[in-house]
A and B are shown apart, each in its own frame.
Chain A
């Protein structure tokens, strides 16, 4: 069976048609939407994409990482630094970015899994590595130190160097999000994907029946880190600036985890649904917060919304929504 066949095998035709329509709408969106709505859609796709990447580790393999800013930050800094210092375009730079993030993921993963750290302990190790790197970049002059690294903003579109306006970045992040979705679907259908689920459910039992646990966990963190690095590269060129305080911040790591947790951990549509919910809430509360004019009020609404979701939909919004829509697939 060809790969394309395998990807759509046993998906109901109704789902495939809905997805095709959605994709066409997304492709046409920049021609219809104004600047503001396009920026909202860009945010949604960004969070859907990084969420998908993080979901591979937590949703599929069951390893909680609260330090994914490390991979996004490394990716962004390396591609932006190569461009800034040597004029190496991001399409070449992204290979270095991915390589560095995969290596970092391999180191964190090997050290953590080798000593069979799990759960909270592993999560704290990922935070520690991310924070450690943040402070290192604060003091690294090549990367601009704490003063930050800035890319020149140029008018006109230069696809070779990923310079251009929001529509360019929209299509890039759309391609990434769709690609990650397909990749995750393929991974879940693969032997590796089945191994991950076995490990997530019961690592000891998986080990006992001969699943190479360490190697599978390493594969999860390396794939996840590499994908996250791409988001970092995209982010750096979209915003044109990088600061260690934000690129490696714990807040950035937490941001990455929210869409898949809210949407539904371990599901393919969860990160998308979560990203829509979170970005929608964020934008709505920004307006509401401005109406009140009190600092922090936006975040208070946001916190209340998170609280409501985790209390009433602890398994995420998508599984519940899928049930309502009658498209509940096979549980993964």
Chain B
């Protein structure tokens, strides 16, 4: 009895950890954008859903596995993010928050309804060959799809870390985030760096979408939920902190899975929001954030 329960718990935790890595990658995009530009991307969940739809289309019409279409989607999202920042968001940097909010809300409405107009309201899923495969580790069973998605998410996060710590552009972006004026003084092209950052953040969420479609089917109505989920994760982890976003993703993934096991599944997000409220009050800079906001 107890050992059965413990096994179920361990299974839920594993499942939560694997999903949580994809959540983490999604939240990473939001965190990078906020950390550098101080702009909250209210269209984040909508971008995630677009990523999921693109991967579904690749699978449905071109018979491309989402893991293979992922680099294409990420590249497309990077370009779209770059253009979006350059053309639309750039003048709003440093403006009052409600104006940024309205701007990105309009973008969100356009994205999600474009998806609705093109793909319709039905849920669209991807049936992969590896759908029912699993790996076993002792008594624990890992879904193959979930494990692959999680590993891909970790690999992308590692690439991102290399980009920000090892490349010249990545370091410049961090410099601009640390000290906007200083970056201008030493002659960095901050506008271009911001556009690159938005591109990188968008690529993250696009890639996360391509991974997420292998785990659950997509509908336009998921967009708002993902926006909220990404907010919860980055606040829990610390807005602007990369490790925070990843660990926050794991924490929320696990807490959702465990709450789904112990309580009713529909109560699982109440748990996340409760956690968010506690954290905002006790440690608003997040678990891994450095300075107070």
Q: Which residues of A contact B (CB under 8 A)?
A: 58, 64, 66, 111-112, 115, 117-121, 123-125, 127-129, 131-132, 135-136, 138-139, 146, 250-251, 254, 257-258, 261-262, 265, 294-297, 299-300, 302-304, 306-307, 309-311, 314
B117 touches A306 (CB 8 A): no
Q: How far is the CB of A134 from chain B (nearest CB, A)?
A: 9
**Please, what's the 1-or-0 string for B257-293, where 1 marks a CB less than 8 Å from any CB in chain A?**
0000000101101100110110011001000000001
Chain A neighbourhood of B264, CB < 8 A: 139
Secondary structure call for the B interface? helix
A300 touches B114 (CB 8 A): yes
Nearest residue, chain A, Cβ from B278? A128
B110 touches A310 (CB 8 A): no
**For the complex, what is the distance from the CA of A261 to the CA of B99, rounded to whole Å?**
8
Q: How far is the CB of A217 from chain B (nearest CB, A)?
A: 16
B94 at the interface (CB under 8 A from A): no
B97 touches A314 (CB 8 A): no
Q: How far is the CB of B119 from chain A (nearest CB, A)?
A: 10
**For the complex, what is the distance from the CA of A258 to the CA of B280, rounded to whole Å?**
26
Chain B neighbourhood of A257, CB < 8 A: 98, 101
B121 touches A124 (CB 8 A): no
**For the complex, what is the distance from the CA of A112 to the CA of B98, rounded to whole Å?**
18
Nearest residue, chain A, Cβ from B102? A310
Chain A neighbourhood of B273, CB < 8 A: 128, 131-132, 135
**For the complex, what is the distance from the CA of A115 to the CA of B115, rounded to whole Å?**
40
B194 at the interface (CB under 8 A from A): no
A303 touches B106 (CB 8 A): yes
Chain A neighbourhood of B277, CB < 8 A: 111, 125, 128-129, 132
What are 30 of the A-B contact pairs (CB < 8 Å)? A58-B98, A115-B281, A117-B280, A117-B293, A119-B293, A120-B97, A121-B284, A127-B228, A127-B231, A131-B269, A132-B277, A135-B266, A139-B264, A139-B266, A258-B102, A261-B99, A294-B117, A296-B114, A296-B116, A296-B220, A299-B112, A300-B110, A303-B110, A304-B106, A306-B106, A306-B109, A307-B106, A309-B102, A311-B88, A314-B95
Chain A neighbourhood of B280, CB < 8 A: 112, 115, 117, 121, 124-125, 128
A299 touches B266 (CB 8 A): no
B11 at the interface (CB under 8 A from A): no
Chain B neighbourhood of A111, CB < 8 A: 277, 281
Which of B103, B220, B269 is close to A310, meaning CB atoms less than 8 Å apart? B103
**Please, what's the 1-or-0 string for B128-141, where 1 marks a CB less than 8 Å from any CB in chain A?**
00000000000000
Nearest residue, chain A, Cβ from B39? A120
Q: How far is the CB of B140 from chain A (nearest CB, A)?
A: 30
Q: How far is the CB of B249 from chain A (nearest CB, A)?
A: 17
Nearest residue, chain B, Cβ from A260? B98
**For the complex, what is the distance from the CA of A299 to the CA of B107, rounded to whole Å?**
11
Q: How far is the CB of A281 from chain B (nearest CB, A)?
A: 12
Q: How far is the CB of B36 from chain A (nearest CB, A)?
A: 15
